[in-house]
Amino acid sequence: MAWKRLLQFAISAISVKTVFAHQVPLGDTIEQPETWLSKYGPQIDQPFSGPLSFSHMTYSRCLEDESAQFDIAVLGMPFDTGTSYRPGARFGPYAIRSGSRRQREARGYSLAWDNNPYEQGSKIIDCGDVPIIPFDNVLAMDQMEVAYSTLLNRPIASSQSVWAKGAQLAKDGRERPRIVSLGGDHTIVLPILRALNKVYGPVSVIHFDAHLDTWNGYPGTVTEQSRVTHGTFFYVANEEGLVSNSSIHAGIRCKLVGLGDIDNDESVGFHFITSDDIDDHGIPAIIKRIRERVGDTPVYLSLDIDVIDPGLAPATGTPEAGGWTSREVKRIIRGLAGLNFVGADIVEVAPVYDNGIHSFTAEITGTAAADLVHDFLSMFMSQSPPTPHALPGSWPRDEL
């Protein structure tokens, strides 16, 4: 019996030793799950997800972050207390960014432009919105001017020039960033022109709009500040010496008091192209007329979304029937590439008027505006208008 118990003890000892030999440290008893990054890669935003920045670009509050560097900035100006009819353009920057959700740097190539503006060597970021006060227009004008000047005076991000004429046009010979402003009603252009004047002097303006915006005031104007509205800012800008006598409107079709409005408009420094001229003369003639008018001067492009027919862009404060199509406007903008653009804006997007009875109208204007901003970026990058690409097939080029 003794030897039998001894044998059982030996077998037990061997079993225990075998069990402990196969044990693993307590911390490794649970298999570690695979991480998102190792399995799926970077956390990429979908078109319908992520923080709201233009085309999912890098976002920075550039006005407070003095380390933010850029060659081109997108800047929101949510201001609409200069409107004469329907307010709501303070939500324009939001609507344009929302309309840009399907756009992104990685998929930014355009057949029409034959480029991707994000791959041309310039750093482009979204600098957020200017926190404009909606209760005091005098203060709001100063806030917008200071904000624009703050970004305009930043050094460019690139180590070498990204804009051939930039340094030559500036008074101090230093290349500056360029800014695409998202309005906001059209009044925002006055503080922008004030800021640009400090760097470039008077600039020529290419003004896409249904309205002249060169009137000298509205009935009831009794104070100096009440003269400044989204229909009078060019008149004030001319008084302040901000606009060159080589500016031009495109797409005009508004009602006038009479021919005296045209005489006044010319005294402010503008010639104009009507919306009907596109039928009478065609797009190439319009492009040629604009380019001849502004020449080699520093040029600022301001686009009121109401230049587009309200059937295609209804969300605006002062709609006028009979406008151009978004395709026609885009084609004209491509024809302007290579001019000395010092900045650009798109204004008067008021998204509340996009949300009509029919759900298909939702965001139609914001989407059109976002696509035009993408065109602005390509326009800044291009030294000349893109050559129309040949159609596929057997047609000779000279027959197209």
Instruction: Report the half-sphere exposure of 29 (CA within 13 A, side-chain side).
Output: 5
Is residue 185 a known part of a binding site? no
Is residue 28 a known part of a binding site? no
Is residue 249 a known part of a binding site? no
CA–CA gap between residue 281 and residue 297 (Å, rounded): 25
3-state secondary structure of 271: strand
Is residue 306 a known part of a binding site? yes
Determine contact, residues 212/186, Cβ cutoff 8 Å: no
Determine contact, residues 372/112, Cβ cutoff 8 Å: no
CA–CA gap between residue 148 and residue 334 (Å, rounded): 26
Is residue 209 a known part of a binding site? yes
* Lateral strand order in the sheet of 72-77: 124-129, 72-77, 178-183, 341-347, 299-304, 204-208, 247-252, 270-274
Determine contact, residues 323/364, Cβ cutoff 8 Å: no
Determine contact, residues 280/302, Cβ cutoff 8 Å: no
CA–CA gap between residue 228 and residue 236 (Å, rounded): 7
| End-to-end CA gap in the chain | 110
Tokens 């901000």: give the residue: 242
Q: What are phi and psi of 59, to 5 degrees?
A: -115, 135
Is residue 271 a known part of a binding site? no
CA–CA gap between residue 346 and residue 338 (Å, rounded): 19
Report the chain's C-alpha Rg in angstroms: 29
| Cβ atoms within 10 Å, residue 311 | 12
CA–CA gap between residue 211 and residue 368 (Å, rounded): 19
CA–CA gap between residue 2 and residue 8 (Å, rounded): 10
DSSP 33-84: PPPHHHHH-S-PPPTT-S---GGG--B--TTT-TT--BSEEEEEE---TT-S
* Known binding-site residue numbers for Mn(2+): 186, 209, 211, 213, 304, 306
* Known binding-site residue numbers: 186, 209, 211, 213, 304, 306
